[in-house]
């Protein structure tokens, strides 16, 4: 069963220098929320940004990772 | 139905419906919080849309992901193009981009049904403290 820490680590490996936060939404190890700030997202549409995150996990999304909610930002998108 | 038939059914549904939502359950009875929020946003905007429940046959989801390259449900298509899953739909709803894309007015108070709505506390009126 994947953990939030494991997901965070894998996103960080795929996006060096990114700020990554991952929460386990239910505590059950299958519904996660990932918030990623990376300059890799610069110039990409939201669809493309989210796909990059999904690509880190491939077939696991929809499988062991039942649901992965995503929020992506570039360092410039201050809120 | 063969897998090929399901595949072309999905492609046609995307092509023939200006606003096409693939979801778990139906807009009346969503079977998942993410699907509920995506259909809730469309309901809130008052747009007409077609919805397809992917649950009755696991092959619907497999073929849909093969068509779209998107792994999760719900998936919203507008004018034949994938807009995104529930996160993107909600972000675009809240920012007004979704209303713009669909050519409708943004509601004054966007209010998407949250899975666990918390009651809002009314602010304490000034007169209550002046007695």
The first and second tokens of residue B13, run together, are 């549904």
A34 close to B (CB below 8 A): no
The first and second tokens of residue B84, run together, are 């995104």
Residues of B in contact with A71 (CB under 8 A): 87, 91
Residue B113, pLDDT score: 61
CA distance A54 to chain B (A): 8
Q: Between chains, do B85 and A62 touch, taking CB under 8 Å as contact?
A: no
Residues of B in contact with A46 (CB under 8 A): 84, 88, 91-92
B91 close to A (CB below 8 A): yes
State pLDDT tens for residues A64-77: 898 899 999 999 87
Residue of A69, A72, A79 to mutate for B, most B C-beta atoms under 10 A: A69
* Distance (Å, whole) CA A58 – CA A54: 6
State pLDDT tens for residues B18-28: 999 999 999 99
The pLDDT of B12-39, averaged and rounded, is 96
Confidence at A27, pLDDT banded by 50, 70, 90: confident
The pLDDT of A35-58, averaged and rounded, is 95
Residue A76, pLDDT score: 80
DSSP secondary structure code for residue B18 in this structure:
S
DSSP structure string for A11-77: HHHHSTT-EEEEEESSSSSSEEEEEEE-GGGTT--HHHHHHHHHHHHGGGBTTTB-EEEEEEE-TT-
* Distance (Å, whole) CA A41 – CA A54: 14
User: What is the pTM (predicted TM-score) of this model?
Assistant: 0.83
Residue A78, pLDDT score: 55
The pLDDT of B16-39, averaged and rounded, is 96
Residue of A48, A56, A67, A79 to mutate for B, most B C-beta atoms under 10 A: A67
Evaluate if residue B130 carries a pLDDT over 50.
Answer: no
Q: Between chains, do B88 and A47 touch, taking CB under 8 Å as contact?
A: yes
Residue B115, pLDDT score: 54
Evaluate if residue A20 carries a pLDDT over 90.
Answer: yes
Confidence at A63, pLDDT banded by 50, 70, 90: confident
B19-23 and B75-78 as β-strands: parallel, antiparallel, unpaired?
Answer: antiparallel
State pLDDT tens for residues B45-84: 999 999 999 999 999 999 999 999 999 999 999 999 999 9
For chain B, percent of residues with pLDDT exceeding 70: 82
Residue of B69, B71, B101 to mutate for A, most A C-beta atoms under 10 A: B71
Residues of B in contact with A69 (CB under 8 A): 34, 86-87
């Amino acid at each position: 069963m994947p953990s939030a820490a494991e997901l965070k680590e894998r996103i960080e490996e795929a996006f060096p220098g990114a700020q990554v936060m991952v929460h386990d939404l239910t505590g059950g190890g299958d519904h996660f929320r990932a918030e990623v700030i990376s300059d890799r997202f610069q110039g990409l549409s939201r669809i493309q940004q989210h796909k990059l995150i999904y690509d880190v996990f491939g077939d696991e999304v929809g499988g062991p990772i039942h649901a992965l909610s995503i929020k992506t930002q570039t360092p410039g998108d201050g809120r | 139905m063969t897998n090929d038939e399901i595949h072309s059914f999905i492609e046609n549904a995307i092509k023939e419906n200006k606003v096409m939502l693939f979801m778990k359950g139906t807009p009346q009875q969503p079977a998942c919080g993410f699907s509920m929020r995506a259909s809730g946003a469309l309901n809130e905007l008052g747009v007409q849309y077609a919805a397809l429940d992917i649950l009755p046959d696991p092959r619907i989801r497999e073929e849909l992901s093969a068509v779209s390259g998107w792994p999760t449900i719900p998936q919203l298509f507008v004018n034949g193009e994938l807009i995104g899953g529930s996160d993107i739909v909600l972000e675009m709803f809240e920012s007004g981009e979704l209303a713009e894309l669909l050519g409708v007015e943004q509601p004054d108070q966007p209010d998407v049904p949250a899975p666990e709505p918390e009651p809002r506390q009314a602010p304490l009126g000034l007169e209550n403290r002046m007695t």
